Structure 1
Amino acid sequence: MNKIKMLIVEDDPVWMKCLSDYIGKENDMTVVKQAYTKEEALQVNCSNIDVALMDLSLSSEDVDLSGLEVAEHLNSKGLEKIIMLTSWDAPEIILESFDKGAINYITKSSYKDIPKAIRDAYCDKVSLHSDVSGVLIKELRFERKAKPLTPAEREVYELKEQGLTKNQIAQKLFKSVETIKKQFRMINKKIK
């Protein structure tokens, strides 16, 4: 039986050891490469890797999201099975991770689900973890509703969905309240 060859990209040595040990207990998986920094990860040869487990933050800086850059780079090199493993749960970061090449996203508190996610990725199964499925469904619903809107109407609709009032939207977009009301009427006709 061929083992699933894993790359782990994680800057925290304790997490790296725990992940490597945890994956190492699985009979059908082996960790073939570990990268502790963005620089190390960008140099990885992807030809002998089946699935990557990628941390989002690869430095001690709070706002560092260099894992996104690494995921995009590895994806462009042909590594299409990247699972983000992180403590970040902001919807915009989750969505950007998928934009950059991730096929799944798991928060570190759900680490027990990693082996199944790896197997699913290896077998080309779309298996979105429950940590992100709600965010993705909400985005899909929004996109499907907003599809018939013009760019200007979409901008108004997005602000309305964020909870802004007509007056706030008018101020933000430098339009009259009357114009915003007209756009709302058009939007309502199109999305109903």
Structure 2
Amino acid sequence: MGKIRVMIVENDQSWMKVLSNCIGKENDMEVIEQISTKAGVLKDLCKEIDIVLMDVTLVENGDKVCGLEIASKLLHSGIQKIIFVTSLVEKEIILRSFDIGAANYVTKESYRDIPKVIREAYQDKICIRSDISTVLIDELRRERKVKVLSPAEREVYSLKEQGFNNRQISQKLYKSTETVKKQIRTIKSKIK
């Protein structure tokens, strides 16, 4: 069996070096490409790549470029396994990364686990890292609770989760503040 071929997409040169050195110590994998720009990633699609390690946020010409958008293009072009390696532990980004098809999501604090994560992804195993598992578990629990709500209650719940107060919710949904308060009491009783 040949080595696992890895592409690193990271514009922070110090992190590029850390990841490259980490992988370079392994006998069963090799870094075949290190890219720091969106254009570079999309240009090198013709290469034989098994795993892409990608940061969620890339900075290019002073602008932030979303690694999730690049990953989505890569996955549609035939690249099968992308592992996000990032310092961001934000619920929406983590959920979106798995939603587009990421093989895994690892924080840079856990960079020493990268070889293990690469092997798992290569073998089609998904072992969620402990530093993001609570985010996924919390979201799963929230989704289960929300299923018991009526559509109108879901609207109110969603706005409340986004930080709107009762008055703002009533204005947004064209309901009286009393109705919103009543719905919130009902929601709380349903999702204890």
TM-score category of the 2 structures, normalised to the smaller one = 0.7 to 0.9
DSSP-derived class of the 2:33 partner: strand
- Deviations along 1:38-78, one digit per CA (max 9) or x if unpaired, are 11112222661111100112116887242111111111112
Letter in 1 for 2:50: D
The answer (yes or no) to whether the contact 1:6–1:33 under 8 Å persists in 2 is yes
The answer on 1:121 being equivalent to 2:121 is: yes
The answer on 1:85 being equivalent to 2:85 is: yes
C-alpha RMSD over aligned residues: 2.5
Structure 1 segments unaligned to the other structure (5+ residues): none
Report the counterpart of residue 155 of structure 1 in structure 2: 155
1:143 Cα offset (Å): 1.2
The answer (yes or no) to whether the contact 2:57–2:66 under 8 Å persists in 1 is yes
1:187 Cα offset (Å): 3.9
Normalized against structure 2, the TM-score is what? Answer: 0.86
Trace 1:1-192 onto structure 2 (pairs within 5 A). Answer: 1-45=1-45, 48-59=48-59, 64-161=64-161, 165-184=165-184, 187=187, 191=191
Letter in 2 for 1:87: S
The answer (yes or no) to whether the contact 2:54–2:82 under 8 Å persists in 1 is yes
Letter in 2 for 1:105: Y
Normalized against structure 1, the TM-score is what? Answer: 0.86
- Deviations along 1:71-114, one digit per CA (max 9) or x if unpaired, are 11111112231111111222222222222332211111211111
Structure 1 residues 153-162 or 61-70, which shifts more?
Answer: 61-70
DSSP-derived class of the 1:135 partner: helix
The answer (yes or no) to whether the contact 1:7–1:53 under 8 Å persists in 2 is yes
DSSP-derived class of the 1:175 partner: coil
Structure 1 residues 177-186 or 123-132, which shifts more?
Answer: 177-186
For residues 165 and 17 of structure 1, the distance between their equivalents in structure 2, rounded to whole angstroms, comes to: 47
For residues 190 and 47 of structure 1, the distance between their equivalents in structure 2, rounded to whole angstroms, comes to: 53
DSSP-derived class of the 1:45 partner: helix
For residues 186 and 63 of structure 2, the distance between their equivalents in structure 1, rounded to whole angstroms, comes to: 39
1:189 Cα offset (Å): 6.9
For residues 176 and 188 of structure 1, the distance between their equivalents in structure 2, rounded to whole angstroms, comes to: 19
For residues 123 and 134 of structure 2, the distance between their equivalents in structure 1, rounded to whole angstroms, comes to: 23
DSSP-derived class of the 1:23 partner: helix
Structure 1 residues 180-189 or 67-76, which shifts more?
Answer: 180-189
Structure 2 segments unaligned to the other structure (5+ residues): none
1:122 Cα offset (Å): 0.6
DSSP-derived class of the 2:153 partner: helix
DSSP-derived class of the 1:79 partner: coil
DSSP-derived class of the 1:109 partner: helix
